[in-house]
């Protein structure tokens, strides 16, 4: 998917989220988790929020990176990255822990642009895990990885903690 054909005048930024922006990221995470609630049967808490218990770790652990996405200066999503043990093999990899683009920016090339920017900015071995219950995400990641690598990439089916994932592994 070509960025120039989809968003000819859009300025897409991937920015490190500051500790002061943690509440903004928490709000975006609510939208993200809401999207998954249908797939995974997640329940909202009595406080009216789903919550994300690991969010504060992105400012206290050196192997975690919170990123905000802006399109033409407006919030458009986020990426949560972490570096850790590979799921589909040995060694240490970059991991797309969470990735979210607001619906208004989907299917316009924003997600692909953001993924490629992140992979260029953080070179090394990568894993992208995709829930099998989310076929649209599987199609998105397959296309994004293939375009980035210049060739098709097949995921490996991996079970971890009782859940099955499709895992794309590659180097940037």
Which pLDDT tens digit goes with each residue over 105-157?
988 899 999 999 999 999 999 999 998 888 899 999 999 999 999 998 889 99
Task: Please tell me the class of the 3-171 domain.
Answer: alpha beta
Contact indicator for 105, 13 with CB cutoff of 8 Å: no
Question: What are the tens digits of pLDDT across the range 66-116?
Answer: 999 999 999 999 999 999 988 877 789 999 999 999 999 988 899 999 999
Can you tell me the distance from the alpha carbon of 150 to that of 168, in angstroms, rounded to the nearest whole number? 14
What are the residues whose beta carbons fall under 8 Å from the beta carbon of 41, sequence distance 6 or more?
none
Can you tell me the distance from the alpha carbon of 33 to that of 44, in angstroms, rounded to the nearest whole number? 10
pLDDT for the residue numbered 163: 83
Domain assignments of the chain as residue spans, ordered by start = 3-171
Can you tell me the distance from the alpha carbon of 134 to that of 153, in angstroms, rounded to the nearest whole number? 18
Alpha helices in 16-80 (DSSP H): 22-40, 57-60
Q: What is the pTM of this model?
A: 0.87
């Amino acid at each position: 998917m070509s960025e120039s054909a989809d968003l000819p005048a859009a300025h897409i930024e991937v920015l490190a989220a500051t500790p002061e922006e943690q509440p903004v990221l928490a709000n975006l995470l609510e939208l993200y988790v809401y999207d998954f609630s249908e797939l995974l049967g997640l329940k909202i808490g009595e406080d009216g929020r789903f919550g994300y218990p690991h969010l504060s770790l992105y400012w206290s652990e050196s192997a975690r990176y919170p990123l905000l996405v802006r399109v033409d200066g407006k919030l458009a999503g986020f990426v949560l990255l972490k570096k850790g043990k590979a799921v589909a093999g040995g060694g240490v990899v970059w991991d797309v822990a969470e990735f979210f683009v607001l619906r208004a920016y989907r299917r316009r090339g924003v997600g692909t642009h953001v993924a490629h920017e992140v992979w260029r900015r953080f070179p090394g071995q990568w894993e992208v895990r995709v829930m099998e219950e989310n076929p649209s995400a599987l199609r998105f990641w397959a296309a994004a990885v293939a375009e980035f690598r210049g060739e098709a990439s097949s995921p490996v089916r991996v079970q971890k903690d009782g859940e099955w994932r499709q895992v794309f592994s590659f180097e940037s």
